[in-house]
Amino acid sequence: MHKESEIRDPLILGNKTYHDITRDIARPVEGKANKYWWILFGLSVFLFLWGIGCMAYTIGTGIGAWGLNKTVNWAWDITNFVWWIGIGHAGTLISAVLLLFRQKWRMAINRSAEAMTIFGVVQAGLFPLIHMGRPWLAYWVFPFPNEYGPLWQNFNSPLLWDVFAISTYLTVSTVFWYIGLIPDFAMIRDRMSKTISPMKKKLYTLLAFGWSGRAKHWQRFEEVSLVLAGLATPLVFSVHSIVSMDFATSVIPGWHTTIFPPYFVLGALFSGFAMVETLLIIMRKVVNMEAYITIKHIEYMNVIILFTGSLVGTAYITELFMAWYSGVAFEQYAFLNRATGPYWWAYAAMMSCNVIIPQLYWIKSIRTSFIATFILSIFVNIGMWFERFVIIVTSLHRDFLPSSWTMFSPTFIDIGIFLGTIGFFFTLFLMYARTFPVVAQAELKTILKSSGSEYKNKTHE
């Protein structure tokens, strides 16, 4: 006897119609913000202003205001840079890969993931800029004929590759994000009355780029989206591989390893999904998207976090094995020092948050809980920050000469700048949630009849 297969859970809850979707997605842009938005916005702006104060103090005083010393000459700045790059670069990859694989559950999360990319890369870019000491001369990093002296870029340096790779990726990600927003801009343009806000209507008319929803427009929209998704996917691999080369091309024990490129790409995907979860669980409350960001979306992401977390754990074990197998005393000591030296607590935090805690997602009740997921996603973000801290500081603080061994301690300026970038990131994200639709309404409508709760129930009956 033929048995019908179990239907998948709906991705759109609440028996929504096409009109309901339009109204719900447009409401945060057209209406007033709720109390959750104002509380988060106030806190984010406070952190951002504190960070600006610390940045201004650093630029005015010099980077001696940080906890750096002659041995540990890279610390919080590069840790935060790589952490933000990891978070940022996963966003467009998540959206692009899920688009190429035609995953329906992408529709509710892709917009936030793409926005996270742009805002994350903006935060990352601040750290090299401040670390230069004279940010007003930042244009010196670009390879143009220099009229001010015999200064020329070293094209062999991975730091210069960073400039090209990150700026290219940011450009492609911004275009990909904007292209996806065009139908939603047109929807808001058409809903706005001329008498209420003519200025706003003009702005959205400009952003909608003449979109009318004709078949030709949709054909071009889909073609461009697929081309950009195909372009963005290999770019993510190249960018994070290049960031890892900042370390891998050096001769420092613990850095000089060929596993870094795939290891950094996996870490970026791992931390990126965790940050998307953190943002989505907050945003569904802040802009009332409970019907569209469901526990099913969170569960699918948790499965990917479990998978990538296990691969990251495998990369950690591979590093330890290769250090032992190499027979190089300096490499062996670098990893022994990470696990048992003065910074053992950072190594323990990294292993706990990135390898052990994600294994809790094997338990279905945890995998399908908003509160548990939110807490675990924060732990993953903390663990990935500690991963970068461990790679950088524990490899530097005890180098080849015991006479130059020293410890690193961050100052309140280090901490202030980092918290300031978190504030800046959430300030941008909350402003975006009130200006642009956070979910792609046009794409949601395409899956309503196959994934809406009302239609699912009818089919099941």
CA angle 37–124–153, rounded 5-degree value: 155
Helix (H, G, I), strand (E, B) or coil at 414: helix
Helix (H, G, I), strand (E, B) or coil at 315: helix
DSSP calls for 53-108:
HHHHHHHHH-GGGSS--SS--SSHHHHHHHHHHHHHHHHHHHHHHHHHTT-TTHHH
Stretch 9-30: mean pLDDT? 79
Domains, the chain: 18-143+153-456 (1.20.1630.10)
Location of structure tokens 């991975």? 158
In which band, very low, low, confident or very high, does the pLDDT at 123 lie, cut at 50, 70 and 90?
A: very high
In this prediction, residue 146 carries a pLDDT of 59
In this prediction, residue 55 carries a pLDDT of 92
**Is pLDDT at 414 greater than 50 in this prediction?**
yes
Lowest mean pLDDT among 34-38, 318-322, 347-351: 34-38
- Token pair for residue 452? 């809406």
**Is pLDDT at 2 greater than 70 in this prediction?**
no
Q: Residue 401 CB: number of other CB atoms within 10 A?
A: 8
Which comes out higher in pLDDT, residue 458 or 218?
A: 218
Closest CA to 103 of 397, 418, 350, 443: 443
**Is pLDDT at 20 greater than 60 in this prediction?**
yes
In which band, very low, low, confident or very high, does the pLDDT at 379 lie, cut at 50, 70 and 90?
A: very high
**Is pLDDT at 321 greater than 70 in this prediction?**
yes
**Is pLDDT at 5 greater than 60 in this prediction?**
no
Percentage of the chain beyond pLDDT 90 is: 23
HSE-CB of 350 using CA atoms within 13 angstroms? 22
Stretch 349-364: mean pLDDT? 92
Closest CA to 68 of 127, 124, 108: 127
CA angle 94–280–366, rounded 5-degree value: 95
In which band, very low, low, confident or very high, does the pLDDT at 221 lie, cut at 50, 70 and 90?
A: confident
In which band, very low, low, confident or very high, does the pLDDT at 151 lie, cut at 50, 70 and 90?
A: low
In this prediction, residue 306 carries a pLDDT of 92
Contacting residues for 68 by C-beta, under 8 A, at least 6 apart? 74, 75, 408
- Exposure string of 412-437, with b = 16+ CB inside 10 Å and e = fewer, is ebbebbbbbbbbbbbbbbbebbbebb
Lowest mean pLDDT among 204-218, 426-440, 444-458: 444-458
CB 143 within 8 A of CB 153: yes
Give Cα separations from 192 to 30, 186, 195, 208, 364 (angstroms). 8, 10, 9, 13, 44
Stretch 377-393: mean pLDDT? 92
HSE-CB of 41 using CA atoms within 13 angstroms? 15
Location of structure tokens 């190089």? 328
In this prediction, residue 149 carries a pLDDT of 58
In which band, very low, low, confident or very high, does the pLDDT at 4 lie, cut at 50, 70 and 90?
A: very low
- Token pair for residue 312? 């990251």
Closest CA to 10 of 106, 105, 112: 105
Give Cα separations from 131 to 10, 142, 251 (angstroms). 49, 16, 22
CB 337 within 8 A of CB 394: yes
CB 316 within 8 A of CB 260: no
Lowest mean pLDDT among 16-25, 302-311, 313-322: 16-25
Q: Residue 260 CB: number of other CB atoms within 10 A?
A: 23
Percentage of the chain beyond pLDDT 70 is: 92
**Is pLDDT at 195 greater than 50 in this prediction?**
no
**Is pLDDT at 423 greater than 90 in this prediction?**
yes
Stretch 116-121: mean pLDDT? 90
Report pLDDT digits (tens) over 63-84. Answer: 888 888 888 888 888 899 989 9
In the chain, what is the straight-line distance between the N-terminal and C-terminal CA atoms, in Å?
A: 19
In this prediction, residue 421 carries a pLDDT of 94
Based on C-alpha coordinates, what's the Rg of the chain? 24
Label each residue of 204-235 as H, E or C: HHHHHCCCCCCHHHHHHHHHHHHHHHHHHHHH
In which band, very low, low, confident or very high, does the pLDDT at 153 lie, cut at 50, 70 and 90?
A: low
**Is pLDDT at 211 greater than 80 in this prediction?**
yes
In this prediction, residue 3 carries a pLDDT of 44
How does the average pLDDT of the chain come out, rounded?
Answer: 84
Stretch 116-142: mean pLDDT? 84
Report pLDDT digits (tens) over 245-274. Answer: 888 888 888 888 888 888 888 888 898 889
Location of structure tokens 């945060």? 28
**Is pLDDT at 9 greater than 80 in this prediction?**
no
